[in-house]
Amino acid sequence: MNKKTIILICFIVFKFILQYNLIHPIYDLHRDEYLHLDQAHHLAWGYLSVPPVTSWFSYIILQLGNGIFWVKFFPALFGVLTMVVVWKAIEVLKGGIFALILGACAVTFSVILRINTLYQPNSLDILCWTFLYFSLLKYFITSQNRWLWIAAVTFAFGFLNKYNIVFLLIGFIPALVLNPHRKVFKNPHLYIAIFIAFLLVLPNLIWQVNNNYPVFHHLALLKKYQLVNVSRVGFLKEQLLFFTASLFVLIAALISFFRYKPFKAYRMFFWAFVFTLSIFVYLQAKDYYAIGLYPILLAFGSVYLENVLNEGWKIYLRPVAILIILLLFIPMYRIAFPNVTPTEIQGKLANYKKFGMLRWEDGRDHTMPQDFADMLSWKELAQKVDSVYAGIADKEHTLVLCDNYGQAGAINYYSKFPTIGAVTVNADYINWYPPLDKVEIKNIILIQFADDDDKNRQKERPLFQSVSLTGKLENPFAREYGTSIYLLKDAKVPINHFLIEDIKEEMSDWR
């Protein structure tokens, strides 16, 4: 085993260990993670919220026992593989030991580390972007057609994970047109590869057609409720924060395409970066959509810096460059991860505010980072719902009805009752109701978010024999703080009709 392999293995082991030690035990899973895990019980070629790949990994996790270890393993694995691909890209670009270590440090000690703490499509999205760029780089270096086919499969898999990867092509194609490598458009293997990609994504496209293109409804909701609060200047500021510790490596990469002769042939990667980033700015996209642009640039930057710092006194700057990344990561470690309790966070809110960590998707500052608040009180909710559910004799005709997908997913994940089947008209759960044409609902455990809470439940009282408040979530740091749990028992009239009408009303918005 050579020195390079030993160093790479050390980085891999270190990153896995680090990923499992970034979240304080006081936190539960994130609200999005529960939705993705629940998809394992409803496998399909598409969902309202995401394409199908995440559900495939959720099914694997389910078969492995659905434990927290495996929930955290896969995003950590995708992060490790992203680092490995950057390592391989550096080798392809003829980088040595210093460039390999610099690139591995730049990837490891960046925002990617935070992305890899959550079981969401984002970790795999970044990996797919990185490997697609790597596949294209390999083709342009070797002219081997198999790399076009590999690129096509990578794009298809990335597309089935998160549609965001389409923007990679939208930016790369015009960049390629401006480069001498545009001769690839005359290669018939390119079109075979495109056809392969089309066949692979076709089942999801058919699903979109059959379900009236819910992706456009999802985008409309994002634009209405989340992207409206995204500023273009803020988007660009966040890009600088994502790789603060290794910003000098990214700057070196951008310079290298014009100053370093061996990289001038790959200048399309520079223009692809510019074009794709410009599109994201124009569309007022979420800042993290662009993270996939950077890992391949870290490979170019690392090799270029190795060549710049290759003689005389400059060679002594090599360890300094690595030390800079490690030192600048320390403040990021202190605020970017949920590694301290909410109470401890309150003692240093100024630090979180300085880096925009307290700004939520509603455009306002709060007393907790949104992602951290989204990781609190879910076990509490499930336990309180379980205590109510356990006391109901007629469970077959009982529905657990939630206000949002986080509540439904958390209850289904933590509940001691395998058949509890919490649902909501929010997100994919609208398609996961029990068959209301066959099962008569007589009791409802209603989970009501604090902002929508009607303490008297005037709407429901005429429909049930009894309506009682059974509990509330009491953690003031949780996003779900104040969420109420009601028991609506013994329906006086058939209520399936009302449930069906609620579903139809919600579906009409996107159909």
DSSP secondary structure of 36-56: HHHGGGS--S--SSS-SHHHH
Q: By the 8 A CB rule, do 373 and 478 touch?
A: yes
- Reported pTM: 0.93
pLDDT of residue 331: 87
Listed as ranges, residues in the chain with pLDDT below 50 are none
| Parallel, antiparallel or unpaired: strands 443-448 and 398-401 | parallel
Half-sphere exposure of 41 (CA within 13 A, CB side): 19
CA dist., res. 139 & res. 152, Å (int): 12
List the Cα angle 155/158/164 in 5-degree steps: 100
Closest to 345 (Cα-Cα) out of 24, 109, 115 = 24
Burial letters for 454-485: b for 16+ Cβ neighbours within 10 Å, e otherwise?
eeebeebeebbeebeeebbbebebbbbbebbb
Measured in Å, how far apart are the chain's first and last C-alpha atoms? 58
Report how far residue 511's alpha carbon sits from residue 506's, in angstroms, rounded to the nearest whole number: 9
Task: Tell me the per-residue pLDDT of 360-406, one tens digit each, with 9 for 90 and over.
Answer: 888 788 999 999 999 999 999 999 999 999 999 999 999 999 999 99
| pLDDT tens profile 115-143 | 999 999 999 999 999 999 999 999 999 99
pLDDT at 230: 64
pLDDT given at position 92:
97
Distance CA 165, CA 176 (A): 17
> Cα 361–365–369 angle (5° rounding)?
70
What the block records as the tokens of 174 is: 């015009």
**Is residue 452 packed enough to be buried (19+ CB in 10 Å), middle (13-18) or exposed (0-12)?**
exposed
Spatial CB neighbours of 224, under 8 Å, sequence gap ≥ 6: none
